[in-house]
Structure 1
Amino acid sequence: MDARGATGVPNLRARTRAVPRATRFVALGDSLTEGVGDPVGGGRRGWAALLAAGIGGPGAPAVFRNLAVSGALTKDVAESQTPAALAFDPDIASVVVGVNDTLRRTFDIADLALRLDNVCSALAARNAVLLTACLPDPGAMFGLPAPLARPLARRQRAVNAVVHALSDRYDAVHLHAAGDAWVADRSMWSADRLHPGERGHRMLARRFHELLAARGLAQGAAPEAEPDQPRPTRAASLLWLATAGTGWMARRCTDLLPQLLRLAGVEVQHWARGTSARLDRSAEHALLSALAVVSRDVPLATMGE
């Protein structure tokens, strides 16, 4: 019998190598994993790089590669990042993506679920231990009014439900980061209120390290909780918002805003008629249909966290 369970999914705990080597850790995803909000030395660091330093044991640092790109969608992760990750032959692979998908007019939970399933399947087939996370919805982070926030919240809940189901299927190291107290802690976030600051990135790294250590997959020390970089001044934060932040908003306005306004209009109409529950049922049905295709061997998740 090989290292596969009854579902055909590789048994990650059974991974062995004939020749010992340094742990190889690859990170896939978007700006969160790329390190936006944690600038260091003219570049970006982020939670994945902080975690990598604590995975290998003394004298055997992990070999780390960060493939995450700001603005990436699940499509980008599936088509561009995954082939590079497979070529890297990782022992551990983080796949944290989906928020950008919720901010696009092309959002389709079935397509997203299928792409993520393909990514996870390809990495698991190489016996890589997967790291995943569910995340807070961007509408709440931006503090948008209810008619605008509700459609985004439904989308992010659906993404999180897919991530939960796939994490179960592939025995991933999964971090619940959607509804924790850290979301409301302003000190954890950067000026844009969408990306963690250094303190937030360190918190994510420490929590992933704790989960990995529990499986015997992190031999080094956990990252420090306190920042080692000076916190950006208010002037620097305002400058960022006026430059990079404004550019980000302008790009999203050409894509997201028309669709979001349409969704908000539908939301208001249903609220006025007292039929808002129909929108929730429609989103739930779309989610269950998507999960029925990609996760036949695990209980169907619901639109919870």
Structure 2
Amino acid sequence: MLARYQSRILTLVAASIAATCMLIATPRLIPLNASTGITFTDAAVGPLNAIIITALFLLPALILSIFIAAFNTYLSATFISAFAVLALASIGGSPIGFIYRSDLPHEYTSLIIESFIWTALLFANLYTIQITRTPIQAKLPRNLVTPSPDDSNLFGNLSTNTILAAFIVAGLGGFLCNLLIQSTATSQSLCSLILAFFIATLFTRFIFPSANPVILLFSPMIAAIVGYTLVLINTGSYSSTSKILSAIYSHQFPPLAFPLPIFFISAGTIGVILGITAAKGFENMTIESATHQSETAE
């Protein structure tokens, strides 16, 4: 098994390579009018081509994820793809560009559809890791393989607690986003999403330690869909682009609905990954402490 610092360095290097590859796609995904905020609908190459290009340029991240998963956990592997998309979201810029160029609130329907597409890409990434990890590990020296019994079936535990935990993370993360997102800056949205879903996941893991953590990775997209839906159904306050812009600048617009799907799938997912990792760290510390006390008592 690789040392912890070696695994982390390997993961960071892989994430950096994946992000660099992803950034090559940026010119093809920016809107025709070169405004900020990347969405499939407004991409210069068209929605369908944008989805295909995104999937193609995510292939290096997927390959690196498969490679890292063989040496590390699925969380480290998933981080690589999320980081690559985070780089793209950062370069794409603030969602305010989407607000200005769109026919709102109708375009929020396209954001909901886009959220489902990103969710499907996340599922595909995780499923590919699951089906390739064991065969690859079987060909590696045992001293390089990280034992992770929970990774054998990532989607196996779909208990009531798991589903409930996913919605709690989505709800609490969304609530915290509403508190943390206070401006239209790109960094504000990204950092707020990471922090919000980190706290939400850490809190939820303490309440439901037996819940399947992989399902929590989908919580940010649940929150995104809820946020966009709230705008769509509130036809009185958000019936046009001008009204939404006015609401944003007067701080009367729900901050949860401001970040684009690419923000949720990248920053939100990274927040969940960090939350799960931190919770596992606390759990291991507790177990080690209890073991030490037991040995001392004997």
Smaller-chain TM-score range?
A: 0.3 to 0.5
TM-score (normalizing by structure 1): 0.32
The structure with the largest helix share of the pair is: 2
Structure having the larger proportion of residues in strand: 1
